[in-house]
Structure 1
Amino acid sequence: MKKWCKAGVVILLLCVLVIPLGACGNKEQETTKVRVAEVTRSLFYTPQYVAIEKGFFKDEGLSIDLKTTAGGDKTMTTLLSDGADIALVGSETSIYVQAQGSNDPVINFAQLTQTDGTFLVSREKIDNFNWDMLKNSTFLGQRKGGMPQMAGEFVLKKHNIDPKKDLNLIQNIDFANVATAFASGTGDFVQLFEPTASVFEKEGKGYIVASFGTESGHLPYTVYMAKESYLKEDKETVEKFTRALKKAQDWVQENDAAEIAEVIQPYFEDTNLETMETVINRYKEQGSFAADPVLDEEEWNNLQNIMDEAGELPTRISHEELVNTDFAEEVTK
């Protein structure tokens, strides 16, 4: 009887010791919520969706709350009003904010794309396109002062086309409605992001004739940015965020378009896998996806040159003033 009692005590003690250890082992990792506002939903931002779907953010202990805020002005307003912690938008917006004066500057800390992401789409099929065909046409452009419009005008001028004199230029249509306007019959040519451009081509609504990305050179086209105060107060979170992004960038560089398309399809339910594969491959081939998150000074200066050419640069701002490469360089080592 005593032996059974002793055995019972031993078992009881083991249970007391083991159960808490097991409970600790099953405890879920605590996560930090990061609110991200993206300027639009596009395959141009493929590495971002890969980082979410492949669990790279989760591995860093981050929970991403992603929302689409159509247009650079709305995205920046969301960030400035504390509706988001991080914004994915064109770097030009940070320059506009700084030029107006800010006690808490918006700092670019990780680059996602390094070329323009738009394509020139013609209403009619053109077998042997040349840029002179745009002269005297009605061109449906992007919002004035936005990166797509400025990069577009830079490329047009590069081909000796004055957007104001040689085209019937329409650019007073809201960013989110440009594609709809073209589909309803407005314009002979339009500047569109993917996957809309390829979808239009498959549906016979338009035909891709040129890429603005291959023509405009490297620039910090779409970048993750945050208030300077956030970068200081949540330094560890920003580093984890940037590390997850770098893992996704590496994964996109190492895998083919078909596999990438399958991973991120949940973000593009209305686009078939074949179209997604075509678009992703097109962006990969023209080097649109940045291989790492470092925004270097040469790209920053090219951005401001394009803004200046478009007459939209309020003041030239140094790379060190609005760009923080510490996080990107740390995770790229």
Structure 2
Amino acid sequence: MKKWIAWLCSLLLLLPLAACGNGNGQGEKPLKNVRLAEVTHSIFYAPQYVALAKGFFKEEGLDVELTTTWGGDKTMTTLLSGGADIALVGSETSIYVYAQGTDDPVINFAQLTQTDGTFLVSRKKIDHFTWEMLKGSTFLGQRKGGMPQMVGEFVLKQHGIDPHNDLHLIQNVDFANIANAFASGTGDFVQLFEPTASIFEQEGKGYIVASFGTESGRVPYTSYMAKQSYIKANKDVIEKFTRAIYKAQQWVASHSASDIAKAIQPYFKDTDLALIEKVVDRYKSQGTYATDPILDEEEWNHLQTIMDEAGELPKRIDLETLVDSSFAKQAMNE
């Protein structure tokens, strides 16, 4: 949380310089450029790549320019400073920004994933895993203040484990280096995203024993958001963007993991097709991919409960303050 406060305070000083964004996009047939910043590049976001690969954005008259900004703080900085029109990032970031005070809050308008995307990986193969086995172990967790870490601690507590007293919790390793740290011998257990978790299994470096997504329940893990001022000035863009995402969500829901893997492979050229299919199947089977873009109140409240238990919730914020589901509902009604 301190990290978020530091960069937000410095960023707010710069915002007046970047207040002016895109035009109103009232052109007729030429594609409207939309700059999209994603927090990371992952099979976890398969419906987004389906929307790109299947031309759903272009069908709506949008030319989506995708950039990976690597991290919640960097993604939000890019959005707030005018470097992106829309961001795909954890909904908790909109809460952090709002809590610091702003007259142009970031609004969540479409949800993409509805569960955590990490898995618990053990260094040793365990035939009959129980969460009790983590007690006394060294657990290599995710960065403090991020959703993976908060969900990880929430799940441990749900299973009667105090993450700060019942095990040795390591949280000072950068996200990009967590997998390498585990591979080099750090930790008995590690919290990993796909496809790294499955790659470790293939190479005998670790074994998936549990899913944090399954254990933590539905939560708005990653959503599309934009500044309130951008949404007001570009309602047509948000409508079209949300419609394209909904088409992709429905396509993913109605197609096999094999079909989805083939569709998104161009966005993961260095990943084996069979591995992409395996990861998609794992996420699809546990309901990770939202089937519609609506972020509902139950999910929003659950998110804040997870943040609160992790000691990272600045204050409770009503759904209506930072979530606008009108575009999602319109897309579904059409």
Normalization by structure 2: what TM-score?
0.90
Unaligned 5+ runs, structure 2: 1-27
Find the counterpart in structure 1 of residue 252 from structure 2.
Answer: 252
SS at match of 1:314: coil
Retained in 2: the 8 A contact 1:79–1:86? yes
SS in 2 for 1:121: strand
- In structure 1, C-alpha distance between the alignment counterparts of 2:318 and 2:122, rounded to whole Å: 38
- Match in the other structure for 2:326: 326
2:163 counterpart residue number = 163
One-letter amino acid matched to 1:226: A
Q: In the aligned structure 1, how far is the partner of 2:257 from the partner of 2:107? A: 32
Partners of 1:124 and 1:269 in 2: CA distance: 30
Three-state SS of the structure 2 residue aligned to 1:328 is helix
The CA distance in 1 between the partners of 2:191 and 2:40, in whole Å, is 15
Q: Distance in 2 between matches of 1:269 and 1:197?
A: 18
**Corresponding letter in the other structure for 1:88:** L
- How far has the Cα of 1:29 moved from its partner? 4.2
Q: Distance in 1 between matches of 2:175 and 2:77?
A: 15
CA distance in 1, matches of 2:127, 2:119: 16
Aligned equivalents of 2:186, 2:80: Cα separation in 1 = 34
Partner of 1:60: 60
Is 1:132 aligned with 2:138?
Answer: no
Q: Which residue of 1 aligns with 2:99?
A: 99
- Distance in 2 (alpha carbons) for counterparts of 1:126 and 1:268: 31
CA deviation vs aligned residue, 1:70-98 (integer Å, no higher than 9, x gap): 11111111111111111111100100000
Query: Once the 2 structures are TM-superposed, how far is the Cα of residue 172 of structure 1 from its aligned partner?
Result: 1.3
Q: Is the 8 A contact 1:70 1:175 kept in 2?
A: no
Q: Which deviates more, 237-246 or 62-71?
A: 62-71
Q: What's 1:237 paired with?
A: 237
Distance in 2, Cα, partners of 1:220 & 1:327? 16
Measure the CA separation in 2 of the matches of 1:98 and 1:110. 18
* Distance (whole Å) between structure 2 residues aligned to residue 182 and residue 84 of structure 1: 34
Structure with bigger gyration radius: 1
Q: How far does residue 297 in structure 1 lie from its aligned partner after superposition?
A: 0.7
CA–CA distance in 1 between the matches of 2:135 and 2:199?
Answer: 26
Aligned to 1:132, what secondary structure does the other structure show? helix
Larger CA deviation: 71-80 vs 172-181? 172-181
**Given the alignment of the two structures, is residue 35 of structure 1 paired with residue 45 of structure 2, yes or no?**
no
TM-score of the superposed pair, with normalisation by structure 1: 0.90
Q: Which amino acid aligns with 2:117?
A: G
| 1:121/1:192 contact within 8 Å kept | yes
| 1:292 is aligned to 2:292 | yes
Q: Please, which runs of 5 or more residues in structure 1 have no aligned partner?
A: 1-27
Distance 1:70 1:179 in 2: 16
Deviation at 1:185, TM superposition (A): 1.9
Query: 1:145 maps to which residue?
Result: 145
In the alignment, is the contact (CA less than 8 A) between 1:70 and 1:176 conserved in 2? no
Question: How far apart, CA to CA, are the structure 1 residues paired with 2:71 and 2:133?
Answer: 29
SS at match of 2:215: helix
Which residue of 1 is the match for residue 213 of structure 2? 213
Aligned partner of residue 246 in structure 1, secondary structure: helix
Which runs of at least 4 in structure 1 moved beyond 4 Å after TM superposition?
Answer: none
RMSD after superposition: 1.1
What does residue 21 of structure 1 align with? none
Q: Which moved more, 1:102-111 or 1:168-177?
A: 168-177
Q: CA deviation at 1:180?
A: 2.0
